[in-house]
């Protein structure tokens, strides 16, 4: 920060006068005043919090009651208002929704297309794009939509909807829609707000119905994701969809023959184009060996991968999972709005709250229906008595001076029948009786009236039975949904446990490793120097030096490791078959030790020592044996008149294989001239 923006601490603390914090009508002092500039932090503190709250509550995160974001709710509400059984142009739906949504047509159109592609709430007609290929939908003026039968059954009921004014106060819109199904878990959702995000994976329709029934019966249940794109999924770390869990999703790869692989299903969130691009990039980097990738996708996914000659198809399948978008990992994050606050829940908790909400809505609908029938029954009873007793022909009624007198006479005549009525007779009821037309009176049939009253009483008894057994009534609701719509939603994603693929084991060894012993460099770019072996970009190299040091380092283009290199080769982690046979001298003129050991796992780029670490120690003999071979060596001592035998042999097979840090066995304490293989 420059000196012009440094201010005393006291000034910063008193940047906005007390009582004016967060008020939109508060205006800072003259902007040329240095103090006024510091009021920006106060604006940031209050206005940014308001902005963040708006994005979280009104844009990006779904509500737990109906599982919808505000834009989705407004779209469905608009489509319900336009609903007449026929398709509407998407452009018309978008325009109608703009009465309720404070943002532009593009955001509404995109949200509607996403709803339509989920194939649950919207019945689509025309080119709505393709989730497999990633192709976009046609322009809104060319495509049409209407609400699906499922949406009409499950999502709407104006009698149980809580309403609020739209952003401009001209219209009413729902606070939340009365959805009687765990829609949030069926569709899934992804949204990025300010400071938090939500990512709820879609689940299977039938499994949601079954889980809801299990919960109502107080039984255990488990839910796992299911995707329109198919594939297979490992849910061992799903953690009930809670924040911190993860799932791995794989494409479905079939072997047509030894030279051709076919990808039939792709992971969720990927497209055919992205999968093909990832395969081509992996091939260019040399991680897999293929001749070409062929995209034959039309209605269903079909990507053909043609292999290079001599390449293992099984190894290539593993490599596709390891290095391409044929396998992806997704971390769910169940964030929802509940009671005007964001909450992080589990999938099971969301389902329980949804089922509780559905039960409550069904009870409300039954109670509203009962009240309506009771009201109809009340008036039917009044009407029957009014007509059968010919109250309308009474002289007092016909000669009544005014309306009040007529109402008093009717009320007096109805008084003996009050015990038969559902509720008290009001003046509004009497006025309604007086509005009955003569044609209806002439056509009145007492038997039909009795039949209608009996039918309404039977309906009320049935509703009372449902209210008394509301749990089983809710269970029947989910069974109805499953039987009516479940056949359209078979499980597409196979549940499996994946084996962990080690990338270093399936990557193609398409690089060549070289070494420059004189200058101490090693790498794949030293093409004029000594060739060591084939390798891959993911391999490590183990290097032994003459002074007993050794280390493991990643393969690179050119890397300085040090001079006096004794041995270098590609290192295989956890390799117990490769055995190193070593004779080393401890110190400048110390004892010679013999040892056999394996190097299975060490930290990269950290130096270790074959010897005991004594200065001037030196490796006198070294071999690396990939199959654990043990050779016989010939040891020649320096001439010494006191030593009778200056040449002797030692068999490594007699030496036990121990840990790499073991000191080893004593070979000789005498000075050694040379050691050679017999």
pLDDT at residue 538 in the model: 78
Q: Strand 303-307 relative to strand 549-554: parallel, antiparallel, unpaired?
A: unpaired
What is the C-alpha separation between 665 and 603, in angstroms, rounded?
26
| Helix, strand or coil, per DSSP, at residue 152 | helix
Mean per-residue pLDDT for 577-594? 92
Print burial letters for 485-509: b (CB count within 10 Å at least 16), e (below 16).
Answer: bbeebeeebeeeeeeebeebebbbb
- 164-176 pLDDT, tens per residue? 999 889 999 999 9
pLDDT at 107 over 70: yes
pLDDT at 212 over 60: yes
Helix, strand, coil shares of the chain, percent, nearest 5, are 35, 25, 40
In this chain, the answer to whether the domains covering 247-330 and 504-677 adopt an identical fold is: no
pLDDT-derived band of residue 407, with 50, 70 and 90 as boundaries? confident
pLDDT-derived band of residue 415, with 50, 70 and 90 as boundaries? confident
DSSP assignment, residue 63?
A: B
DSSP assignment, residue 340?
A: T
pLDDT-derived band of residue 528, with 50, 70 and 90 as boundaries? confident
The strand ranges marked E within 572-617 are: 579-585, 592-597, 608-609
Phi, psi of 593 (to 5 degrees): -115, 150
Q: Is 142 a catalytic residue?
A: yes
Mean residue pLDDT across the chain: 87
Write the class of the CATH domain 247-330. alpha beta
Catalytic one among 54, 142, 268, 417? 142
pLDDT at residue 566 in the model: 92
Q: Are 251 and 275 in contact (CB under 8 A)?
A: yes
CATH superfamily of 504-677: DNA gyrase/topoisomerase IV, subunit A, C-terminal (2.120.10.90)
pLDDT-derived band of residue 3, with 50, 70 and 90 as boundaries? very low
pLDDT at residue 322 in the model: 87
The distance of Cα 3 from the centroid of its chain, to the nearest Å, equals 48
pLDDT at 573 over 80: yes
Q: Which residue has the higher pLDDT, 155 or 49?
A: 155
| Among 240, 222, 194, 168, CA closest to 47 | 194
| Among 332, 292, 354, CA closest to 200 | 332
- 273-301 pLDDT, tens per residue? 999 999 999 888 888 888 899 998 888 89
pLDDT at residue 28 in the model: 45
What is the C-alpha separation between 497 and 508, in angstroms, rounded?
25
Q: Are 132 and 296 in contact (CB under 8 A)?
A: no
Q: Exposed (0-12), middle (13-18) or buried (19+): which is 212, by Cβ within 10 Å?
A: buried
pLDDT at residue 13 in the model: 38
- Cα distances (Å, whole numbers) of residue 495 to 211, 232, 244: 17, 6, 20
- 133-146 pLDDT, tens per residue? 888 999 999 999 99
pLDDT at residue 19 in the model: 39
pLDDT-derived band of residue 536, with 50, 70 and 90 as boundaries? confident
What is the C-alpha separation between 654 and 675, in angstroms, rounded?
17
Enclosing H/E stretch for 24: none
**Residue ranges of domains in the chain:** 3-56, 247-330, 359-487, 504-677
> Token digits for 43?
């604006």
- 430-474 pLDDT, tens per residue? 888 888 888 888 888 888 888 999 999 999 999 999 999 999 999
pLDDT at residue 5 in the model: 35
pLDDT-derived band of residue 270, with 50, 70 and 90 as boundaries? very high
Q: What is the 3-state secondary structure (H, E, C) of 407-425?
A: HHHHHHHHHHHHHHCCCCC
Mean per-residue pLDDT for 184-200? 89
- What are the residues facing 328 on neighbouring strands? 249
Q: Which residue has the higher pLDDT, 393 or 123?
A: 123
Residue for token pair 């780029």: 605
| Helix, strand or coil, per DSSP, at residue 36 | helix
> Token digits for 12?
């910063």
| Helix, strand or coil, per DSSP, at residue 161 | coil
pLDDT at residue 525 in the model: 86
CATH topology of domain 359-487: Topoisomerase; domain 3 (1.10.268)
pLDDT at residue 409 in the model: 83
Angle between helices 347-388 and 403-414 (to 10 degrees): 100
Q: Are 538 and 504 in contact (CB under 8 A)?
A: yes
pLDDT-derived band of residue 25, with 50, 70 and 90 as boundaries? very low
| Helix, strand or coil, per DSSP, at residue 397 | helix
Share of the chain above pLDDT 70, in %: 92
pTM as predicted: 0.75
Which residues, in sequence order, are CB contacts of 442 under 8 Å at separation 6+?
none
Phi, psi of 293 (to 5 degrees): -115, 130
- 463-503 pLDDT, tens per residue? 999 999 999 999 999 999 999 999 999 999 999 887 766 66
Q: Are 78 and 117 in contact (CB under 8 A)?
A: no
| Among 79, 99, 237, CA closest to 148 | 79
Which residues, in sequence order, are CB contacts of 153 under 8 Å at separation 6+?
481, 484
Written as one string, the DSSP assignment of 249-276 is EE-EEEEEETTEEEEEE--TT--HHHHH
What is the C-alpha separation between 129 and 161, in angstroms, rounded?
33
Q: Are 34 and 8 in contact (CB under 8 A)?
A: no
- What are the residues facing 343 on neighbouring strands? 336
Q: What is the CA radius of gyration of the chain?
A: 41
């Amino acid at each position: 920060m420059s000196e012009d923006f440094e201010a005393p601490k006291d000034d910063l603390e008193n940047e906005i006068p007390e009582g004016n914090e967060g008020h939109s009508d508060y205006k800072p002092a003259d902007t040329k005043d240095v103090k006024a500039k510091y009021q920006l932090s106060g604006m940031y503190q209050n206005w940014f919090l308001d902005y963040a709250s708006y994005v979280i509550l009104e844009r990006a995160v779904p509500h737990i009651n109906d599982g919808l974001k505000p834009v989705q709710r407004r779209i469905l509400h608009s489509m319900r208002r336009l609903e007449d059984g026929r398709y509407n142009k998407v452009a018309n739906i978008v325009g109608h929704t703009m009465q309720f949504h404070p943002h532009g047509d593009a955001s509404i159109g995109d949200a509607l297309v996403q709803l339509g592609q989920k194939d649950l709430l919207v019945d689509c007609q025309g080119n709505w794009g393709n989730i497999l290929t990633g192709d976009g939908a046609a322009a809104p003026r060319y495509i049409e939509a209407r609400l699906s039968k499922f949406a009409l059954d499950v999502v709407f009921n104006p009698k149980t909807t809580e309403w609020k004014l739209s952003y401009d106060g001209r219209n009413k819109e729902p606070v939340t829609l009365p959805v009687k199904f765990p829609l949030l878990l069926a569709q899934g959702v992804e949204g990025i707000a300010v400071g938090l995000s939500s990512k709820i994976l879609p689940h299977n329709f039938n499994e949601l119905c079954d889980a809801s029934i299990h919960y109502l019966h107080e039984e255990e249940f488990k839910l796992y994701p299911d995707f329109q794109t198919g594939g297979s999924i490992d849910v061992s770390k799903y953690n009930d969809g809670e924040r911190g869990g993860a799932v791995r999703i794989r494409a479905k790869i079939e072997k047509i023959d030894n030279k051709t692989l076919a990808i039939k299903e792709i992971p969720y969130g990927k497209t055919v184009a992205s999968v093909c691009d990832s395969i081509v990039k992996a091939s260019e980097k040399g991680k897999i060996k293929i001749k070409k990738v062929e995209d034959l996708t039309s209605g269903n996914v079909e990507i053909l991968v043609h292999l290079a000659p001599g390449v293992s198809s099984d190894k290539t399948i593993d490599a596709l999972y390891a290095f391409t978008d044929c396998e992806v990992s997704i971390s769910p994050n169940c964030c929802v709005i509940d009671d005007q606050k964001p909450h992080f829940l589990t999938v099971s908790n969301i389902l329980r709250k949804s089922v509780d909400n559905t039960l409550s809505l069904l009870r409300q609908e039954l109670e509203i229906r009962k009240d309506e029938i009771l009201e109809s029954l009340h008036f039917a009873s009044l009407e029957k008595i009014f007509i059968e007793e010919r109250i309308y022909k009474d002289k007092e009624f016909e000669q009544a001076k005014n309306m009040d007198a007529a109402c008093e006479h009717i009320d007096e005549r109805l008084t003996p029948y009050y015990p038969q009525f559902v509720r008290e007779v009001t003046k509004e009821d009497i006025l309604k009786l007086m509005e009955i037309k003569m044609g209806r009176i002439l056509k009145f049939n007492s038997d039909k009236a009795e039949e209608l009253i009996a039918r309404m009483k039977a309906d009320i008894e049935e509703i009372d039975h449902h209210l008394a057994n509301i749990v089983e009534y809710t269970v029947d609701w989910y069974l109805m949904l499953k039987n009516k719509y479940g056949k359209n939603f078979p499980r597409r994603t196979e549940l499996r446990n994946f084996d962990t693929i080690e990338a270093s084991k399936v990557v193609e060894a398409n690089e060549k490793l070289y070494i420059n012993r004189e200058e101490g460099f090693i790498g794949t770019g030293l093409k004029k120097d000594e060739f060591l072996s084939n390798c891959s970009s993911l391999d490590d190299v183990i290097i032994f030096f003459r002074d007993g040091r050794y280390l493991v380092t990643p393969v690179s283009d050119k890397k300085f490791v040090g001079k006096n290199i004794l041995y270098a080769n590609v290192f295989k982690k956890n390799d117990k078959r490769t055995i190193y046979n070593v004779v080393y001298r401890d110190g400048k003129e110390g004892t010679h030790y013999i040892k056999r050991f394996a190097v299975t796992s060490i930290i990269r780029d950290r130096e270790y020592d074959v010897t005991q670490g004594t200065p001037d120690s030196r490796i006198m003999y070294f071999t690396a044996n990939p199959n654990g071979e043990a050779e016989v060596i010939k040891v020649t001592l320096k001439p010494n008149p006191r030593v009778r035998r200056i040449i002797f042999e030692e068999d490594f097979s007699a030496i036990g294989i121990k840990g790499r840090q073991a000191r080893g066995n004593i070979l000789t304490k005498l000075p050694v001239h040379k050691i050679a293989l017999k």
